[in-house]
Amino acid sequence: MSAAETVAAGLGFLEGPVWRDPTGDLIVTVVSRGLLLRVDVESGRADTFAETAGGPNGAYPCQDGGLVVTQNGGIDWQAVGMANPSPPDPAEPGLQRVRPDGSVSPLTGPGDGPFRAPNDLCVDQDLTLWFTDPPRYPPPAEPVGRVWRWSRGGRPEVHADGLQYCNGIGVDGQGRILVVEGHGLMYLDPDGGRPWLIESLPSGGDGFAFDVEGHVYVCGGRSVTVISAEGKVVEQLEAPDGPAIMTNCCFGRDDRRTLFAVDGASGRVLAFPDMPVPGVRLPDAVIA
């Protein structure tokens, strides 16, 4: 596996990387600053793409070049033990629509939810949108996390509840919903089953991505842990020296052989080039 290269640094507490094919750039969310940045991965330049307020967490590409963002409402940085001298204004927890021009509008409204702190999202082959809704961090002892599904033409509905802390979410090659729950990766099957792919990740888990052979690349701690389709640890891709909290990742560039990962502690965008297996190309969300 390749060593990490630093694309950009000092950007804030980063999450939700999205590679955009038409423009060949990377969009990242900055939870600590309430905005999205557009990163030129060749030069390392980062420009403001959108201002969301609150805590934009996950992001997902739309067919028109915009994005859907999971908005957690804002984080109490003192409660999580991290300094943030200029937190953004709070926002209503839910989903936001970011247009290609950077304009932002709520996608969920007063008749939806109420939501706790939406975290990450994905879209399946039927274009159903799924998103995790854990409690605010640090989580309470009671298991109150939920996963929502939103089919086209309907409204969001709870698919699974009673989760301790559901975080990253994705769809595997067989169309099964996989979610980071606690310290492991759990399937949420249509019949209500919740089998583990792996119950305990060596570095914990946050956001993740898939390659075309079914490996799962899970961010957590100082590394991206590669898990096989059978639930075995294959490899750990380590962050460079310095503080690191790896929060999420995606595959990018034309050949999908560069894994981009974001680091919340140092505000770094990292690249692992020349991966042996290309990443899955995500289906775009289709949202008016």
- Highest mean pLDDT among 151-160, 196-205, 279-288 belongs to 196-205
Q: Tell me which DSSP letter residue 221 carries.
A: T
**Distance between CA 84 and CA 50 in Å, rounded?**
20
How confident is the model over 86-134, as pLDDT tens digits? Answer: 889 999 999 999 999 999 999 999 889 999 999 999 999 999 999 999 9
Question: Over 90: is that where the pLDDT of 82 sits?
Answer: no
Tell the burial category of 162 from Cβ atoms under 10 Å away from its Cβ (0-12, 13-18, 19+): exposed
Question: Over 90: is that where the pLDDT of 223 sits?
Answer: yes
Q: Which CATH fold topology does 5-272 show?
A: Neuraminidase (2.120.10)
Question: Over 90: is that where the pLDDT of 153 sits?
Answer: no
Is 18 in contact with 67 (CB distance < 8 Å)? yes
- Residue 67 Ramachandran class (φ > 0 left, ψ -120 to 50 alpha, else beta): beta
**215-228 burial, b for 16+ CB within 10 Å, e for fewer?**
bbbbbbbbbbbbbe
Cβ-Cβ contacts under 8 Å for 104 (sequence gap 6 or more): 50, 51, 52, 96, 97, 98
pLDDT-derived band at 170 (thresholds 50, 70, 90) equals: very high
Q: What pLDDT does 253 receive? A: 96
Share of the chain above pLDDT 70, in %: 100
Element (H, E) at 19: strand 14-20
Which of 128, 173, 134 is closest to 277 using CA atoms?
173
pLDDT-derived band at 3 (thresholds 50, 70, 90) equals: confident
Cβ-Cβ contacts under 8 Å for 85 (sequence gap 6 or more): none
**Distance between CA 91 and CA 156 in Å, rounded?**
19
Tell the burial category of 47 from Cβ atoms under 10 Å away from its Cβ (0-12, 13-18, 19+): exposed
**Distance between CA 118 and CA 55 in Å, rounded?**
9
Is 30 in contact with 36 (CB distance < 8 Å)? yes
How confident is the model over 266-279, as pLDDT tens digits? Answer: 999 999 999 999 99
Question: Over 90: is that where the pLDDT of 79 sits?
Answer: no
Share of the chain above pLDDT 90, in %: 89
Q: Which of 31-40, 97-106, 134-143, 219-228 has the lowest mean pLDDT?
A: 134-143
Mean pLDDT score of the chain, rounded to an integer? 95
Q: What pLDDT does 152 receive? A: 84
* DSSP result, 88-155: PPP--SEEEEE-TTS-EEESS-TTS---S----EEE-TT--EEEEEPPSSSPPSS--EEEEEE-TTS-
Domain layout of the chain by residue ranges: 5-272
Q: Whole-prediction pTM value? A: 0.96
pLDDT-derived band at 1 (thresholds 50, 70, 90) equals: low
Span 38-58, mean pLDDT?
97
Is 247 in contact with 87 (CB distance < 8 Å)? no
